[in-house]
Amino acid sequence: MRLVIRKDFEAVSYHVAKYVKERIKEFAPTATKPFVLGLPTGSSPVGVYRNLVKFHQAGELSFQHIITFNMDEYVGLPRDHPESYHSFMWSNLFKHVDILPENVHILDGNATDLDLECQRYEEKIAAVGGIELFLGGIGPDGHIAFNEPGSSLNSRTRVKTLAYDTIVANARFFDNDITKVPNLALTVGVATVMDAREVCIIITGAHKALALAKCIEEGVNHMWTVSAIQLHPRGMVVCDEDATLELHVKTVNYFKSIEKVHEQLIGSDNVGLQGGVRSWRGGAESTYHQ
C-alpha cells in the first residue's frame, strides 16, 4: 500500500485529480476499451472533482470514453432531491464534463426490487470488465461507502440500514429533522471496491486521523472496513498532514522517505504512476544524486 501525504486538503485534491488524469492518459481509453472509474460522494472528493473539471475545461481530460460507477445512493429519495447522490454527482462533476449519460451508473434507490437492483449493478460492473480505479473516502468510523462497522469484508452490493449516528449527522441536510433522513441506502460492498484493479482512498482532516490509524497500522478488522485495503495489491491512500495526527511518527517518516528516494535517488521521471521503477541506472556513478 502506498501512503501519500500532502500538506492540506487542496494539495491532496490536486494530487488525486492529477493522478486520475495521468492514469487515464496512460490507459488511453477508446470506445471499445473504456476506462472504468469508481466514484465516491461526500466532502472528501469535492476538491478532486473541482480539479478534474478544471482539467477538462483546459482541454487536458476528456470523459468521452469513461464509464463511472458510484458507490452508493439513498433509498426512497427522489433522484432530483438536492441531497440525493444523483444531484451531488450532477452538480459536482457530470454537468461540467463531456461524459455520456449512458456511461454513468448510480444505484437506483427508487427501484421496485432493491435486491435485484443491487444484483444488476454487480452484473453491470462485470459486463464492462470490472473497475480499473476506484476512488473512495472514509468515514470517521473507518467505513468505506456505506459499509458501516460490522459489515462483512467480503460483502457485495446490497441494501444497508444506516447507523443512527449517520442519520443524526445527515439531518443537517434535511431541515434538521431526522424523520426526513433516509434510513436505508444501497451500497457497493467492501469486496466490490477491493475487486477493482486499483483503489485510492482520500482521507483529510483531523477528525479522520483515528480512522486512518486504525485502518493502516492495525489489523484487518470489520469494525474499520477500509482496513481491507491492506490486502489489496494496488492500494493507495492520499491524506493531508492533519489526518496523520494519530499515526506513529515512524509510519509517517517511512512513507515520506519512500517519496524522497523516488524523487532524489531514482528520479521521479523513472518512477511509474504506481511507484514501480521504470528504469534504473544504479551504483555510485549514478548521476541522480543532488
Q: Which residues are catalytic?
A: 72, 141, 143, 148
Judged by CB, which is closer to other proteins: 78, or 140?
A: 78
Sole binder of other proteins in the list 21, 79, 156, 197 (CB under 8 A): 79
Q: How far is the CB of 68 from other proteins (least distance, A)?
A: 13
Binding part of the chain for other proteins, among 42-50, 110-118, 234-242, 268-276 by CB under 8 A, reads: 110-118
The reply on whether position 285 binds other proteins by CB under 8 A is no
**Total Cβ atoms within 10 A of residue 157:** 26
Q: Tell me the backbone φ, ψ of residue 280, rounded to 5 degrees.
A: -145, 125
Judged by CB, which is closer to other proteins: 80, or 285?
A: 80
Sole binder of other proteins in the list 8, 43, 60, 78 (CB under 8 A): 78
Site for other proteins in 164-193 (CB under 8 A): 182-184
Q: How far is the CB of 1 from other proteins (least distance, A)?
A: 36
The reply on whether position 100 binds other proteins by CB under 8 A is yes
SS3 280: coil
Secondary structure (DSSP) of 37-69: EEE--SSTTHHHHHHHHHHHHTTS---TTEEEE
- Rounded CA-CA distance 83/85 in Å is 6
Size of the site for other proteins (CB under 8 A): 21
**Cβ atoms of residues 93 and 41 within 8 Å:** no
- Rounded CA-CA distance 119/102 in Å is 19
**Total Cβ atoms within 10 A of residue 64:** 13
The reply on whether position 116 binds other proteins by CB under 8 A is no
Sign of the Cα pseudo-torsion (256, 257, 260, 266, in order): negative
Q: Where does this chain bind other proteins (CB under 8 A)?
A: 75-76, 78-80, 86-87, 90, 94-95, 100-102, 104, 108, 110, 112, 115, 182-184
